[in-house]
Amino acid sequence: MSVGIGRERQFEVYVGGARGSYPTVPVSFHRLERAAQKAMSPEGYAYVAGGAGSEETMRENRAAFERWRIVPRILRDVSTRDTAVEVVGTRLTSPFVLCPIGVLEMAHRGADVAVARAAAAEGIPFVLSNQASRPMEETARAMGDAPRWFQLYWSTSNELVASFVSRAERSGCSAIVLTLDTTMLGWRIRDLDLAYLPFLRGKGIAQYTSDPVFVEALQDTLRQEAPHGGRITLAAVGTLLGQAGAYPGSRLANVRSGLARAAVRRFVETYSRPSLSWDDLAFLRERTRLPILLKGILHPADAATAIEHGMDGVIVSNHGGRQVDGALATMDALPSIVEAVAGRVPILLDSGVRSGADVFRALALGASAVGLGRPYVWGLAVGGEDGVRDVIRNLRADFDLTMGLSGVASTRDIGRENVTTRA
Ligand SMILES: Cc1cc2nc3c(=O)[nH]c(=O)nc-3n(C[C@H](O)[C@H](O)[C@H](O)COP(=O)(O)O)c2cc1C
């Protein structure tokens, strides 16, 4: 009989220690982040770690989790525990998915493919980012039959949106996550102080440069491309070479043809669509039979309207505090959204999930599953594929033990009675 992932992982670590081998990927979130910082460039670290403004929302996300206290129960036979859940037809071995995170090449050269392999090995769905460092086809191939979803940003071109969605379908993605809180980038002070935006260096635009609609449109940009003006500095040459590396083919040929620079310019023109409104959703609904989840929901009325528009799920998220500083914490937003949704569609939550207790608390308030973000990026930076795998295993283990020790044997039985607010 299996002792469950929690005890298995504990034994693995402790027995390793008894034989003289210690975890290379720190179990503690704070030590993990510090180790990742050492492994990354200052710009890469700032991009992942940072939030909008004074990072109040990031702190609030944590504080809101901590306001909810678990009330453990005893003598309830928790010898076998079922941690699995099903969300929009996808099975999760533990109730979390890996959030879509762009520009993973800044953490590790294995980038999206390394994360994909780790997620597949653990039976945890990976949400492939619209701003990925590798084309979705390549990442999907690394996953075999393991579950994956695709996250979409709605660009200025509906033709490009349709192309991304049909590529996601062909790549075996079983849901579309439409992120709606990033029609413009938030005011991110760490990145502004370093004057660094990865996309302008040709990073995180692989879904575009591998897309037939985008590549076709690039010819227009090439024709209009202004002759290269301004002073030639070392930094400018570095940027140009970086951009060239992002486009398929040889770097030198890409610099010569102007393709790489044009791709970045075209991306900047295409990426964002602040005019997006509810009526636009019909376009997406008609184009795919896959379940669609809206990500970035913080108001109950928006959750209800999403359902009226035929959406299949909502993700309560403030983008890890990267968009609106001073925004509501996701755990504070969750209860009223659960009430408005009234069980009609699944609700996921992300932003600040760091432990098994966080997963448990979100489920207790009515989430079906949560999204894990920054922690797996730190694992990637420290240990590549194995690092991500360790982070996933640790969270799975921590959740399994938290659930059992709280007196609950199955995710189905986690409910509002398992938590209370701090007096
Ligand atoms: C470096 C970084 C890049 C991100 N890129 C994307 C993205 O491409 N698409 C998206 O929907 N969300 C993106 N997010 C937001 C995450 O999906 C998720 O909402 C957030 O990381 C949750 O917060 P947490 O990591 O603090 O738990 C990104 C977050 C980070 C930290």
Read off the pLDDT of residues 279-310 as tens digits, 9 standing for 90 and up: 999 999 999 999 999 999 999 999 999 999 99
Nearest to 303 by CA among 366, 256, 229, 389: 366
Closest C-alpha residue for ligand 1 atom 15: 319
pLDDT digits (tens, 9 = 90+) for 73-131: 999 999 999 999 999 999 999 999 999 999 999 999 999 999 999 999 999 999 999 99
In whole angstroms, give the CA distance from residue 262 to residue 301. 41
How far apart, in whole angstroms, are the C-alpha atoms of residue 279 and residue 282? 6
Q: What are the pLDDT digits (tens) for 119-153?
A: 999 999 999 999 999 999 999 999 999 999 999 99
Hey, which residues are catalytic here? 319
Q: Which helix (H) or strand (E) holds 372?
A: strand 369-372
Nearest CA to ligand 1 atom 28: 101
Please choose from 101, 134, 164, 272 the residue to mutate so as to test ligand 1's pocket, defined by most ligand atoms within 8 A of CB. Answer: 101
Give the residue, 258 or 180, on which the prediction is more confident: 180
Which residues does a 6 A CB cutoff place in the pocket of ligand 1?
Answer: 47-48, 99-102, 129-131, 151, 179, 295, 317, 319-320, 322, 350-353, 371, 373-374
Contact indicator for 376, 126 with CB cutoff of 8 Å: no
For 297-324, what is the mean pLDDT? 98
Gap between the terminal Cα atoms of the chain? 41
Query: What three-state secondary structure class fits 363?
Result: helix
How far apart (Å, rounded) are the C-alpha atoms in residues 270 and 72? 51
Residue-wise pLDDT for 338-359, tens only, equals 999 999 999 999 999 999 999 9
Distance in Å, CA 101 to ligand 1 centroid: 5
Does residue 358 contact residue 71 with C-beta atoms inside 8 Å? no
Atom of ligand 1 nearest to the CA of 49: 31
Q: Tell the residue nearest (CA) to atom 5 of ligand 1.
A: 101
Indicate which residue's Cα is closest to atom 21 of ligand 1.
373
Strands 419-421 and 68-70: antiparallel
Structural contact between residues 134 and 113, judged by C-beta atoms closer than 8 angstroms: yes
For residue 315, the ligand 1 atom closest to its alpha carbon is 19
Written as one string, the DSSP assignment of 265-292 is HHHHHHS--TT--GGGHHHHHHH--S-E
Q: How far is the CA of 99 from the centre of ligand 1 (A)?
A: 6
pLDDT in tens, 361-408: 999 999 999 999 999 999 999 999 999 999 999 999 999 999 999 999
Q: Which two tokens stand for residue 10?
A: 């504990």
* Nearest-atom index, ligand 1, CA of 318: 19
